[in-house]
Amino acid sequence: LGRYAEAAPYWQTARDDDSESGFANHGHREALAGIEAGAGGPPQPAPAHPAVVASDALEASVHFSWGRALEDDARWAEAAKSFDQALALQKGWVECAMASANALAEAGDIEACLAAWDNAVVLDNARPDVIRGRAHALRMADRVPESLRAWDQVLEIEDNNPHNFVGRGDALRVLERFEDGLASYDEALELAPQNTLALRGKAASLDAIGLYEQAIEHWKRALDIDPGAELALEGLRKAEESLRGTQLERRDDQTLVQYQSPQDPPARGRARSSYTVGRNLIQQGRFQDAVVALRRAVEEDPEWSPPLMLLGLAHAKDRQYRQAVIAFEEVLRRDPHDAFIS
């Protein structure tokens, strides 16, 4: 109603009752701003959305503002409900659908979040921020191939935003298309050389293909920009450990080959070395590194089934279930008895 001077004492009372309430603090700030803006004349109502021209539109604006205030208190599910109420009154208001989707993501309701983004795309399929939000939601829902298609779609509209290339690179990395992912991260870094998400994504991809020295370089670059980033600190630690392990593995390769069984084919010694590294990495919880080592074992001795068994296990532990099924199906295609007792 624009009656800010009357509203302010009520907000102040609410703040006195709960000084940490983001809702009350938000309302008090709005009231004070309204009083200041109206100092030269009669109080004016806060500007509404352009669609607010009738009573239902005014009600929608109230629900939307209420949702924002609830967000300030981290009451995400209630905020989403308020945004949905606004959208029911103003069905073309895409910002309401986006706000609801973001609130549902914060509440951890990924399926509802994705449905909200789908609705936002129906309302406006040409806005990069709408398609970008849906791409993120698809990734959170483990629908990564669809997420990749959404990132490709947003890049057709907006190819000058490094975050779009980072999102595409992340999807490609989850799909284990590491070379394509690296190219996407490089595109992001050309646009924004200090983008820590791109640096971390590239470092993780380099880790996954065993290029630990290059990975270490990129983890360090990310830490130069954000020294306290726990993900980068952990990534650097793992890359350095993997590099040391690779160096030890190379040093001990000849010893391992010497002790292989006389009945083993010549490639079995190196495969055993990679298999042992992969098994140890699984025990340390380093499942992505284990995948790299076990794939190397499979390549070195394609006829030997135990690395495939552990490869499936490493994928499953890393929640890459599609890849796990592929590995286990290959084991089952062979003689399962030999696979388990070798």
pLDDT at 279: 82
Residue 206: pLDDT band with limits 50, 70, 90: very high
d(CA 170, CA 92): 32
Would the pLDDT of 95 be above 80?
yes
d(CA 235, CA 242): 10
Residue 34: pLDDT band with limits 50, 70, 90: confident
Residues with Cβ < 8 Å from 288, sequence gap 6 or more? Answer: 204, 207, 208, 318
pLDDT one-digit tens code per residue, 321-333? 888 888 888 888 8
Residues with Cβ < 8 Å from 100, sequence gap 6 or more? Answer: 67, 80, 83, 84, 87, 116
d(CA 171, CA 147): 7
Would the pLDDT of 340 be above 60?
no
* CA within 13 Å, CB half, 187: 19
- For the record, the structure tokens of 234 come out as 């952990």
pLDDT at 114: 94
Would the pLDDT of 207 be above 70?
yes
pLDDT at 252: 46
**Do 293 and 306 touch, CB atoms closer than 8 A?**
no
Neighbours of 183 (CB within 10 A): 16
Residue 336: pLDDT band with limits 50, 70, 90: low
Would the pLDDT of 40 be above 50?
no
pLDDT at 53: 45
pLDDT one-digit tens code per residue, 229-276? 888 898 898 888 888 766 555 544 444 444 445 555 667 777 887 888
The mean pLDDT of 202-225, rounded to a whole number, is 92
pLDDT at 44: 46
The mean pLDDT of 123-149, rounded to a whole number, is 94
Residue 24: pLDDT band with limits 50, 70, 90: confident
- Torsion-angle region of 286 (φ positive above 0: left; ψ -120 to 50: alpha; else: beta): beta
Q: What share of the chain has pLDDT > 90, as a percent?
A: 41
pLDDT at 257: 43
The mean pLDDT of 49-73, rounded to a whole number, is 76
Would the pLDDT of 54 be above 70?
no
Would the pLDDT of 130 be above 90?
yes
Burial call 159-178: b when 16+ CB within 10 Å, e when fewer: eebbbbbbbbbbbbbbbbbb
Comparing 34 with 52, the larger pLDDT belongs to: 34
pLDDT at 247: 59
